[in-house]
């Protein structure tokens, strides 16, 4: 099949979170199954890969606010896997992906309308007529609409469209005046099943409504988003469409995240020889300015957002740190969480290490050097860090929600520790279970081994997408 994959971030070129990881790895896995995959994404100002090559083609789109265009550049990742970058100085020439220190960019509706429609036009220009157009999150939702309205008389219209929800809470909602601004036909707003959502324009809803199939990134999250509690006001729509909604758990990039070959680590290790993990722990403590000793280390690497439950962790840590425990955090995001982490560090300078910022090398070092990795998420569509942790022999302590349920095994002979209630007592009890496990080396060893031996590579999940794509084509 020919697959056109559209995403607003694609690792290793651009990344704010797991979407970037998935947009880097899933297309590669589909290409490895023999499909032709082209990924389309913006060329943000920070994308400076020396392999970027002009295709000789460009995008040109007419909007009521003026014509917008720019060249299409490409990086070939593998024989059947190419990443196309849309260059446009006005929309993507500034630093930042979705926003900057002052908040979200005010023209994101224009920027991502440009990505969505520009990606379809790029495929046309390159004469790549896809069987499947695979969209990801709200930034690409308008492409589902454009396939049916705008490109309906072109060869692209025979493509089946799949929309993947990586996070239902981010919907791309804008005032209805953008209908005219972007030149979208008004009947799309007034139609019963259109782009309108509580009198606003909702890009994600548009994608969900016009796509032929909807996926999300774990089976548990697929069920949860059909409930009012986690449905973000779209649960009704998702229940109506439940026949074409499926949860497919993410995989991990098994080359980037392999403790046996990871060059970002000071030492490598594998289930047969774990000595390198101790070297990583020592280096992690050194980097975080903490004393080098045998105490257990609890780590976190996270976007600092409400979703991630950092506040719950802050509630519990002053008590948890009464035990002989170290805590290390790498993250960036909302200012009050950053402040909270810095304050915790100031209060417990010998036990807490904090790095505020986005740091790929440190994120690997935490996965390798920590003994436990904590994810007290309020909700978690899939989560990748817990899988990285398992692979690195670091026991995850996670809240039983979304993809965390589908990837971490609790119980006495599991590979991680799960807790149910989003409540300080429940998290504290889970951390204490971790400390008890740490005090019992043979049992800890067994937990680690079971985690490291589980296969989280993309091969299995890519097959599930493939099956879905084949089914859609037959419909």
Binding site for ligand ADP (CB under 6 A): 17-19, 21, 301-303, 330-332, 358-360, 363, 382-385
Residues 46-85 that bind ligand GLC (CB under 6 A): none
Q: What share of the chain is helix, strand, coil (3-state, %, to 5)?
A: 40, 25, 35
Contact flag: residue 384 with ligand GLC (CB under 6 A): yes
| CA distances (Å), origin 202, targets 48, 63, 174, 252 | 32, 19, 7, 30
Q: Binds 331, which of ligand GLC, ligand ADP, none (CB < 5 to 8 A, cut-off by type)?
A: ligand ADP
**Toward ligand ADP, which CB reaches closer, 164 or 385?**
385
The minimum distance between CB 7 and ligand ADP, in angstroms, equals: 12
With CB under 6 A as the contact rule, the residue among 11, 17, 75, 265 that binds ligand GLC is 17
User: Rounded distance, CA 412 to CA 393, Å?
Assistant: 17
In the complex, the smallest distance separating the C-beta of residue 5 from ligand GLC, rounded to whole angstroms, is 13
Q: Find the binder of ligand GLC among 3, 19, 144, 328 (CB under 6 A).
A: 19
DSSP code of residue 157 = G
Find out whether 393 and 369 touch, Cβ atoms under 8 Å.
no
Which 3 state secondary structure label does DSSP give 456? coil
Asked if residues 419 and 427 have their Cβ atoms less than 8 Å apart, the reply is yes
State the residue number with the nearest CB to ligand GLC. 18
Q: Cβ closer to ligand ADP: 24 or 194? A: 24
Segment near ligand GLC (CB under 6 A); pick from 2-10, 17-25, 335-343, 419-427: 17-25
Give me the least distance between CB of 23 and ligand GLC, in Å please: 9
Closest CB to ligand GLC among 126 and 313?
313
Is residue 208 within 8 Å of 214, Cβ to Cβ?
yes
Reading the block at residue 310, the tokens are 């950092």
| Cα–Cα distance for residue pair 313/295, rounded to 1 Å | 19
CA 421/CA 416 separation, integer angstroms: 17
Q: 459-474 vs 18-32: helix axis angle to the nearest 10?
A: 70
Q: How many CB atoms lie within 10 A of CB 261?
A: 12
| In the complex, minimum distance from the CB of residue 319 to ligand ADP, in angstroms, rounded to a whole number | 25
**Could you tell me which stretch among 13-21, 237-245, 422-430, 456-464 binds ligand GLC (CB under 6 A)?**
13-21
Task: Show contacts with ligand GLC in window 156-185 (CB under 6 A).
Answer: 166-167
Binding test (CB under 6 A) with ligand GLC, winner from 86, 135, 159, 217: 217
Choices 35-43, 56-64, 92-100, 378-386; region in contact with ligand GLC by CB under 6 A: 378-386
Query: If we measure between CA atoms, which residue out of 156, 68, 71, 157 comes closest to residue 113?
Result: 68
Q: Does 250 bind ligand GLC (CB under 6 A)?
A: yes
What phi and psi values does residue 51 have, to the nearest 5 degrees? Answer: -80, -10
Point out which residues bind ligand GLC (CB under 6 A): 17-19, 22, 166-167, 217, 250, 380-384, 403
């Amino acid at each position: 099949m020919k697959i056109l994959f559209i995403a607003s971030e694609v690792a290793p070129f651009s990344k704010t979170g797991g979407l970037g990881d998935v947009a880097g790895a899933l297309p590669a896995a589909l290409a490895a199954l023999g499909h032709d995959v082209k990924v389309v994404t913006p060329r943000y100002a920070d994308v400076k890969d020396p392999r970027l090559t002009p295709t000789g083609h460009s995008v040109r789109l007419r909007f009521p606010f003026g014509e917008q265009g720019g060249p299409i550049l490409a990086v070939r990742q593998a024989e059947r896997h190419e990443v196309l970058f849309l260059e446009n100085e006005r929309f993507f020439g500034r630093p930042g992906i979705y926003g900057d220190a002052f908040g979200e960019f005010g023209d994101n509706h224009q920027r991502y309308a440009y990505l969505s429609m520009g990606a379809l036009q790029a495929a046309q220009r390159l004469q790549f007529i896809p069987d499947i157009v695979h969209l990801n999150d709200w930034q690409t939702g308008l492409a589902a609409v454009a396939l049916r309205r705008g490109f309906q008389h072109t060869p692209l219209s025979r493509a089946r469209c799949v929309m993947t929800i990586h996070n239902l809470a981010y919907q791309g909602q804008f005032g209805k005046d953008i209908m005219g601004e972007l030149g979208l036909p008004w009947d799309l707003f007034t139609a019963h099943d259109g782009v309108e959502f509580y009198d606003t324009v909702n890009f994600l809803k548009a994608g969900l409504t016009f796509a032929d199939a909807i996926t999300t990134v774990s089976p548990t999250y697929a069920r949860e988003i059909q409930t009012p509690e986690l449905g973000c006001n779209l649960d009704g729509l998702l229940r109506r469409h439940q026949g074409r909604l499926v949860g497919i758990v993410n995989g991990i990039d098994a080359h980037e995240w392999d403790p046996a070959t990871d060059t970002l680590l000071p030492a490598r290790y594998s289930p047969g020889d774990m000595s390198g993990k101790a070297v990583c722990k020592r280096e992690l403590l050194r980097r975080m300015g903490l004393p080098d000793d045998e105490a257990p280390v609890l780590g976190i690497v996270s976007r600092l957002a409400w979703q991630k439950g950092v506040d719950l962790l802050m509630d519990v840590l002053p008590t948890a740190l009464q035990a002989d425990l170290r805590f290390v955090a790498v993250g960036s995001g909302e200012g009050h969480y950053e402040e909270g982490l810095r304050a915790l560090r100031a209060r417990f300078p010998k036990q807490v290490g904090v790095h505020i910022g986005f740091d790929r090398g440190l994120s690997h070092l935490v996965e390798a050097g920590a003994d436990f990795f904590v994810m007290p998420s309020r909700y978690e569509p899939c989560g990748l860090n817990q899988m990285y942790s398992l692979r690195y022999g670091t026991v995850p302590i996670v809240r039983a929600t979304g993809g965390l349920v589908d990837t971490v095994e609790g119980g006495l002979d599991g590979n991680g520790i799960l807790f149910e209630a989003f409540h300080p007592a429940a998290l504290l009890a889970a951390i204490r279970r971790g400390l008890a496990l740490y005090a019992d080396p043979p049992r800890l060893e067994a937990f680690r081994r079971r985690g490291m031996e589980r296969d989280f590579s993309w091969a299995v999940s890519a097959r599930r997408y493939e099956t879905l794509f084949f089914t859609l084509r037959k419909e």
